[in-house]
């Protein structure tokens, strides 16, 4: 008689730092789009734009292929290019700086609050001083889903003649107050444009996708032009009339005209089908993320001061990420060691972000600016699992793993 084989050890699923939620109705929406007459530049593009502008209470929304394209389009629509200067906080993804720089602008990096990662009014003022007192725009980042002192930042920006672009790639659904009035990020109550990203780890996803909202019809028109090669099919804009018109009131149906060379940043109907389906679930995703954030806040409290959540600001955020600030020196471990030990426990983590002013390209171009807040935030930040399909039990498991790994 042979001995029974040992049972396979039951392991818990790996929890990544972020992930999408794709449900049967999302798949059905994409399938319907694939069966439709248009795979791109069709009716679902306009339908998504309408849904998004209504969602954030903006007058116009222009969807595009990704969040980087959205930032680039915003820069071009504002006329930023060679000779322009744009202020960008250093704690952000590369694209916030690289998109306007690719449009031709030079970048001045601003410092941030070491506990929230958000640019403060004093940081904007200091960046303006380093820019010689003159800049053309500020791209303000709503990091992790929080927005900072938007009123004070807007006042400084307007006093210096700066346009304001809010990078809200993390912040769809976030609300803030101006006096007694509640405003939505994307509504552009204080900014000229707001950009969004719909990457898979964001609150809602299009697979890849982005959008810009604005309340100015001229900027909306410029955004659409930039999205589509810089070409127009609008007869009102045609200037080569001999080729454009068969008769004064009869434009040739095949004709289009290049206003300025541009890229193809269009989003497809397939992406927009998924985006529409996901936007319909935004309130549910928001509620789940708020519940998880509240659970983490409570569960992490006993780990203070070695581990602390990023400081809360005076807004009602829909968080995209949940970073914690860890005193790695106190636990005598490097961040890489902590990440490896967490991974061995089935817990994913990530760093958001390496300060952009320290990136090789920008350091070589501008030198490394002394930004102590950005450096301090980066030195401690670690994003732990946070997404709307997580349970409170998952959050408890994450914190227990942190305690184990850090020896707390």
Catalytic residue IDs: 202
Whether the CB-CB separation of 306 and 326 falls below 8 Å is answered with yes
Structure tokens at 206: 């299009």
Strand bridging mode 106-110 / 85-89:
parallel
Numbers of helices and strands, H then E, in the chain:
14, 16
Query: What is the C-alpha to C-alpha distance for residues 235 and 255, in angstroms, rounded to an integer?
Result: 9
Ramachandran bin of 216, using left for φ above 0, alpha for ψ from -120 to 50, beta for the remaining angles = beta
Q: What is the Cα–Cα distance from 81 to 364, expressed in whole angstroms?
A: 20
Instruction: Output the six-digit token pair for 348.
Output: 């994913």
CA distance 320 to 246: 53
Indicate the DSSP class of residue 145.
G
Beta-carbon count within 10 A of 28 CB: 12
Strand partners, 397: none
Please list, residue by residue across 243-276, b when 16 or more beta carbons sit within 10 angstroms of its beta carbon and e when fewer do: ebeeeeeebeeeeebeeeebbebbbbbbbbbbbb
Cα(321)–Cα(325) distance, integer angstroms: 13
d(CA 81, CA 390): 43
Q: What is the DSSP string of 350-402?
A: B-----GGGSHHHHHHH-----HHHHHHHHHEEEE---TT--HHHHHHHHHHH
List of residues 6+ apart from 70 with CB closer than 8 A: 64, 195, 196, 197, 210, 211, 212
How many angstroms separate the CA atoms of 67 and 71, rounded? 6
């Amino acid at each position: 008689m042979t001995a029974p084989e040992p049972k396979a050890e039951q392991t818990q699923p790996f929890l990544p730092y972020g992930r999408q939620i794709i449900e049967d109705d999302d798949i059905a929406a994409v399938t319907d789009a694939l069966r439709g007459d248009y795979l791109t530049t069709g009716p679902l593009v306009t339908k998504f734009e309408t849904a998004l502008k209504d969602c954030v209470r903006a007058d116009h929304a222009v969807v595009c292929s990704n969040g980087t394209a959205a930032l680039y389009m915003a820069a071009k629509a504002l006329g930023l290019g060679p000779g322009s200067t744009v202020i960008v906080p250093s704690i952000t993804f590369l694209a916030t700086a690289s998109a306007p720089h690719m449009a031709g602008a030079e970048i001045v990096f601003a410092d941030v609050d070491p506990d929230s990662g958000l640019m403060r009014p004093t940081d904007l003022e200091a960046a303006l001083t380093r820019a010689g007192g003159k800049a053309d725009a500020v791209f303000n980042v709503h990091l992790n889903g929080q927005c900072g002192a938007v009123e004070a930042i807007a006042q400084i920006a307007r006093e210096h003649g700066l346009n304001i672009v809010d990078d809200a790639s993390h912040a769809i659904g976030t609300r803030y107050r101006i006096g007694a009035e509640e405003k939505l990020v994307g509504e552009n109550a204080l900014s000229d444009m707001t950009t969004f990203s719909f990457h898979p780890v964001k609150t809602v996803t299009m697979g890849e996708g982005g959008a810009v909202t604005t309340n100015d019809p001229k900027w909306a028109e410029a955004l659409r032009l930039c999205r589509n090669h810089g070409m127009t099919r609008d007869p009102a804009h045609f200037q080569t009339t001999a080729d454009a018109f068969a008769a004064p009131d009869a434009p040739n149906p095949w004709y289009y005209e290049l206003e300025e060379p541009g890229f193809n940043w269009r989003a497809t109907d397939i992406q927009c089908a998924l985006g529409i389906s996901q936007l319909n679930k935004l309130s549910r995703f928001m509620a789940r993320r708020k519940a998880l954030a509240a659970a983490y806040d409570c569960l992490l409290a006993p780990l203070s001061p070695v581990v602390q959540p990023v400081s809360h600001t005076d807004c009602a955020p829909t968080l995209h990420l949940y970073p914690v600030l860890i005193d790695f020196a106190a636990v005598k471990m490097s961040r890489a060691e902590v990440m490896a030990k967490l991974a061995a426990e089935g817990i994913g983590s990530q760093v958001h972000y390496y300060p952009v002013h320290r990136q090789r390209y920008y350091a070589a171009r501008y030198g490394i600016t002394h930004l102590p807040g950005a450096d301090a935030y980066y030195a401690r930040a670690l994003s732990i699992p946070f997404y709307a399909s997580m349970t409170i039990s998952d959050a408890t498991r994450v914190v227990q793993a942190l305690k184990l790994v850090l020896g707390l």
